[in-house]
Amino acid sequence: MSAPVANFWGDLDPNNRVEFPEAKRPDETWELRDGGTAWVYRAPGHDNIRRPVILSDGFSSLPSSYNELYYGLEGAGSPDYKFISALHERGYDLVLLGYQDRTKSIIDNAKVATECIHNAIARQEGDALLTVGGFSMGGLITRYALADMERKRMNHNTAVYLSYDTPHRGAWLPIGIEKLVPYLLGDSRMLSLVSSPAAKQMLRWHTSKVEGEPAMHDDRKTFLQALEKLGNWPMIPRLIGVANGDGKGVGNGIKAGEAALTAEGDLKGTKLYTQPGGKGALVAELAKTGADPVTVRTDTIPELDGAPGGTLGNFSLVAGLLQQLGAPATAHHPATCFVPSGSAVDLLDFDLATPEADPFADLRKVSEENSGLHSYLLSETSTPHTSMTRQLGEWIVNQLAN
């Protein structure tokens, strides 16, 4: 199975790989202001970049690493399709854009993306137009950067914008996990991560307290308002995107209301459930020795854990953390939906704000005119978030060639 290109949890997940084989060294490395770095892999025979494809890294607890990015695109983490080689065969130069802090505000890291675009234009040989985009949140960073450059009448020289399983309409993190973190871990790296500026902007529902109904965070509202002031999208490039989630409405087979995680020992009685829809939906029973138990219910969230979308190993992460703390725990559903398919392709009527919303809709029946993207591709089956598959990779390369 392919590894994620952008690993959301980074080193917080004991199941994640955080050390990667030494990748092929970049042909160029650009140190950018505000904590950014670009690693350049030129096509064979190119002494300078000629046809740049700039792809941004996404959200994670760790700084960007070209070893990790290369692993997911060209190395052992992408056994099915060698994306960098495929780009090189068509004469494209790949620029991997990374960040020192991948939890910073999307708007702040968009400044880094803007500088990377300026750098590419200044260093480019010839006059070929650029492709600019990113994986997961990296697609939001570059979307904002291009739109902002147009508003400021800056030349971005970009013909194609590309998003790869980007949560254009929000990402989903199970509410039981969002509640468990402050209840059990308190002031911790994990709480800091899920409460970081970028997480608040990216997640459709957010909470960092045990009490209260989860809702869209004010930081996300502010980001969406800022994006709207820029016209929501860059107007000049052709906008394309792919989703790791399927478009047939099938999902990953997980049913709503099932036990997703159970714990024993000092946490006996702790039980997290897959998200049910409807009012008063039970999503978590939290318990620990010496503390009052807490029951968590939601009123306004549809069934999302089993929905079509790029998947993330959220419950396996929590089980691993609890085991490290000495509490036996079992993840009955290790990976669940993270970026719903309709979010990844920015369907305009894909509104998950009510429990009546249908994340299992057959998107094959939806016209591309209902998307913010000009063209998109959904996966045959739901696959891990930002994993490079042959189906998606070949479609992207062919779209650039056309």
pLDDT tens sequence across 220-272? 999 999 999 999 999 999 999 999 999 999 999 999 999 999 999 999 999 99
Show the 3-state SS of the chain: CCCECCCCCHHHCCCCCCCCCCCCCCCEEEEECCCEEEEEECCCCCCCCCCEEEEECCCCCCCCCHHHHHHHHCCCCCCCCCHHHHHHHCCCEEEEEEECCCCCCHHHHHHHHHHHHHHHHHHCCCCCCEEEEEECHHHHHHHHHHHHHHHCCCCCCEEEEEEECCCCCCECCCHHHHHHHHHHHCCCHHHHHHCCHHHHHHECCECCCCCCCCECCHHHHHHHHHHHHCCCCCCCCEEEEEEEEECCCCCCCCCCCCEEEEECHHHCCCEEECCCCCCCEEEEEECCCCCCCEEEEECCCCCCCCCCEEEECHHHHHHHHHHHCCCCEEECCCCEEEEEHHHHCCECCCCCCCCCCCCCCCHHHCCHHHECCCEEEEECCCCECCECCHHHHHHHHHHHHC
Q: What confidence score (pLDDT) does residue 325 get?
A: 86
Q: Give residue 356's pLDDT band: very low, low, confident or very high (50, 70, 90).
A: low
Q: What confidence score (pLDDT) does residue 260 get?
A: 98
pLDDT tens sequence across 59-93? 999 999 999 999 999 999 999 999 999 999 999 99
pLDDT tens sequence across 284-315? 999 999 999 999 999 989 999 999 999 999 99
Mean of pLDDT values over 111-124 = 98
Q: Is the per-residue pLDDT at 321 higher than 60? A: yes
Mean pLDDT, rounded, of the chain: 94
pLDDT tens sequence across 273-286? 999 988 999 999 99
Global pTM value: 0.97
Q: Is the per-residue pLDDT at 185 higher than 90? A: no
Do the Cβ atoms of 122 and 150 come closer than 8 Å? Answer: no
Q: Is the per-residue pLDDT at 24 higher than 60? A: yes
Q: What confidence score (pLDDT) does residue 365 get?
A: 83
Q: Give residue 355's pLDDT band: very low, low, confident or very high (50, 70, 90).
A: low
Query: Which tokens go with 113?
Result: 């993306």
Whose tokens are 């994670």? That residue is 60
Do the Cβ atoms of 173 and 8 come closer than 8 Å? Answer: no
Q: What confidence score (pLDDT) does residue 16 get?
A: 76
Q: What confidence score (pLDDT) does residue 143 get?
A: 98
